[in-house]
Chain A
């Protein structure tokens, strides 16, 4: 028997040594503070910078999650659902105890663009840092100047998340970031115009449009964070609403919309094709309408450049145009439509100019996901406030007037009339959304995103 050069014991020790080094390195990696270009930098706070920061806060719509409807601005509190349990949006007023009062500019930057708090905890990507990481250094320091100098500090501790151990361990998110974020600010595309690049910067960055409009993968990652990816902004189901494709898709996207249509939608909340509804109402009320015309133009130009797929909507004449015809037609849902919907949306489904949306050709009338139509029929639409003026016409809730079968049938009628190509609506899907959008039910929707 010959002697082996290394005894098994020694081998085991060297394996352990390597494992230890990897562990130590990994441990350092997942708990480290990433570097920030602002490390050691002195923050500025000129009136111009603060004003710019306020504008950036509008672009990023911080208030959407970090405020409650009746609460102080930016004091946090919104409950947000994740697949693991609920988390609560934090207080981002400059209160030193419960807010971000002690954050340096570099700390602020790390939270915003890397999802890391000063005490080295990782944020859940409910905070859209995979988008915010594209924001420029200048916008970050402006935003910091605004929050530190122009937001009233509020003492209000954030509620604790109810995610149980060990799922609440956050360091694995450092690895998630390695896979699912680029770690880069927005990179100008030299082949595109300055206006296009500005639009891309706003949509992919602060605007974080993809948080709702891009489908998510197994790890809740957005499948595509920029224009190079065909999944980017291709539409996604979230919180009982289907955020439609913002790409040039024929029927299901905004292929039919002109750049001017898009600009009108973003600046006024309405155009001849659609009126904001569902979760988009808040995005319009709190964020979009405050953007400059130049920025909204840039966003329109950029979105119109995203290629889509599928044939466009082909208008077909109405086959039923009165209550009597509807009753005689025997078509399920036709009578319900004429009695309940036609007064506003038109006997021909064409709506009323930009005031009341057409259902003929509407994005929500196509495709395989009827959640938005079910939801808005059950619960109505929110108040659209443009330039301080609430809108005159709003979709009333029908949850107490129509039962699940009636809603399924009327939507089926809408989705198969006037050239629409939407799939039929299942009564069970209506029943399910009815239950989940009732706050008193056993399983109400906890918003994942706002």
Chain B
């Protein structure tokens, strides 16, 4: 380049091109990133009390299965997702119900109670959980999750507290 300290015509063009290009890149580039990750930034989290069955129908020592679906609006579509679990009655007090989530703690398949095995079995990688959710066998890192909060309605229906992810 030239020895003088003045900006040559060519350097001026280069610098201007760089600046204008950079500006356009940022003005379009930054919004594009938000555009792409937008669904990850949306807040879901609707809360609800979900009825799972009558307390009188739950028998001590036999896991009581329940399931429910929640409809969520994803983009331009309503998607129904299923959830489920087992209520384990221990005594005459509804407070002592243990309500397990049937979502496997390994990689989220759904476990099923097997009467013969006296365990919840996972079809995906052969996990085995005991009646109260403890891990008996297989890869899961921890016991089955529990629905922490539940209440009993006047007519004896058990309702669990559910918060969407």
User: Do A and B form a real pair?
Assistant: no
Q: Which residues of A contact B (CB under 8 A)?
A: none
